[in-house]
């Protein structure tokens, strides 16, 4: 289980990007984090990934505090960030350097097959389309079999058609080993298609505003009335999150309140 306990982050320039964000995320759960631009979504994800330290609060995975990148946690960024000097196959195998070559080759071949890029194994990253490159990035992150996979707006640079394709593809890959997915997005449709639970954040300082369980079976029909209902409730919550006068639903315990009883 991944536990976020009052994670806060103040950048050296004084910007308070994240304030007391708490959540508990079960193994295999798919979480979507949604919120306006600049409300600390990337900051939160980087703290979970161990790329940046939180200024206060803790991130723990299976009772182990995360303070630096961890073998059980993988991350996919908005850009594929492939290494341009490695072939597609070597990019996918980048995190497997410790394995014997034969085993690595076999895992990479399987992953290539799985993301449908087997014929591109020896291509250079520059020869891929945006969607293909992001699929390689997904394969690279999944091939070491992380327990938690973080995705920071992974599909936002892609066209609508490719985006849908990759959303379905991601679910498909997730089903293989069922890691925990934490997906940052600003696309309500994407959140409702993928997530078991949507966490809505509000800005300045970034904090948790609302949680919405998406009780829909999979595969989900994007056109069903139920789907539309969930989309509407996420949208409503998102709208309210941008209004300064609405209290946070989760903030029942302010800093002083806990001590009063």
Partner 1 sequence: MAMISDAPALQQPSEPAESAAAPSRMARYARPILGLLLPLALALGWELVVWLGWSNGRLVPPPSRVFATIAELARSGELVRHVIATLWRVGLGFAFGVIAGTMLGAVSGYWSLARRLLDPTVQALRAIPSLAWVPLFILWLGIFETSKVALIAVGVFFPVYLGVMGAILSVDRKIVEVGRTFRLSGPAMIRRILLPAVLPAYVVSLRVGLGLGWMFVVAAELIGASEGLGYLLLDGQQLGKPAQILAAIVIFAILGKLTDWLIEVAAAPFLRWQDAFGRAKGA
Ligand X SMILES: Nc1ncnc2c1ncn2[C@@H]1O[C@H](COP(=O)(O)OP(=O)(O)O)[C@@H](O)[C@H]1O
Q: b or e along 172-181 (b: 16 or more beta carbons within 10 Å of the residue's beta carbon)?
A: ebbeeeebbb
Stretch that binds ligand X, among 12-20, 106-114, 140-148, 234-242 (CB under 6 A): 12-20
95 is in the binding site of which of Mg ion, partner 1, ligand X, none (Cβ under 5 to 8 A by kind)? partner 1
Min CB(11)–Mg ion separation in Å: 14
Stretch that binds partner 1, among 53-61, 62-70, 156-164, 172-180 (CB under 8 A): 62-70
Tokens of 113: 């097959």
Q: How far is CA 218 from CA 192, 194, 195, 221, in A?
A: 11, 9, 10, 8
Q: What are phi and psi of 71, to 5 degrees?
A: -60, -30
- Contact yes or no for 30/172 (Cβ under 8 A): no
Min CB(46)–ligand X separation in Å: 8
Tokens of 146: 């992380």
Which residues inside 175-234 make contact with ligand X, applying CB under 6 A?
206
Q: Which is nearer to ligand X, 13 or 215 (CB)?
A: 13
Min CB(49)–partner 1 separation in Å: 6
40 is in the binding site of which of ligand X, Mg ion, partner 1, none (Cβ under 5 to 8 A by kind)? ligand X
Which residues inside 20-49 make contact with ligand X, applying CB under 6 A?
37-43
185 binds Mg ion (CB under 5 A): no
The whole-angstrom separation of Cα 98 and Cα 216 is 40
Which residues inside 18-57 make contact with partner 1, applying CB under 8 A?
49, 51
124 binds partner 1 (CB under 8 A): yes
227 binds partner 1 (CB under 8 A): no
53 binds ligand X (CB under 6 A): no
42 binds Mg ion (CB under 5 A): yes
Q: Which is nearer to ligand X, 140 or 207 (CB)?
A: 207
What residues make contact with ligand X under the rule CB under 6 A?
11, 13, 15, 17, 37-43, 206
């Amino acid at each position: 289980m991944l536990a976020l306990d009052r994670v806060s982050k103040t950048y050296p320039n004084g910007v308070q990007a994240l304030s007391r964000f708490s959540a508990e995320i079960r193994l295999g759960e798919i979480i979507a984090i949604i919120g306006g631009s600049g409300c600390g979504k990337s900051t939160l994800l980087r703290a979970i990934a161990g790329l940046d330290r939180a200024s206060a609060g803790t991130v723990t995975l299976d009772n182990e505090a995360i303070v630096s990148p961890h073998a059980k946690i993988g991350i996919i960024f908005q850009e594929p960030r492939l290494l341009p000097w490695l072939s597609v196959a070597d990019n996918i195998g980048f995190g497997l350097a410790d394995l014997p070559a034969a085993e690595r080759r076999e895992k990479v071949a399987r992953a290539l097959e799985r993301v449908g890029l087997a014929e591109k194994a020896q291509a250079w990253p520059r020869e891929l389309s945006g969607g293909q490159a992001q699929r390689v990035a997904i394969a690279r992150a999944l091939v070491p079999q992380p327990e938690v996979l973080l995705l920071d707006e992974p599909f936002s640079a892609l066209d609508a058609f490719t985006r849908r394709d990759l959303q379905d593809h991601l679910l498909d890959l997730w089903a293989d080993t069922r890691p925990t997915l934490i997906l940052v997005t600003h696309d309500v449709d994407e959140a409702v298609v993928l997530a078991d639970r949507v966490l809505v954040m509000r800005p300045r300082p970034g904090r948790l505003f609302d949680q919405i369980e998406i009780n829909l079976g999979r595969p989900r029909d994007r056109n069903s009335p139920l789907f539309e209902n969930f989309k509407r409730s996420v949208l409503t919550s998102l709208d309210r999150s941008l209004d300064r006068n609405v209290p946070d639903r989760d903030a029942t315990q302010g800093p002083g309140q806990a001590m009063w009883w």
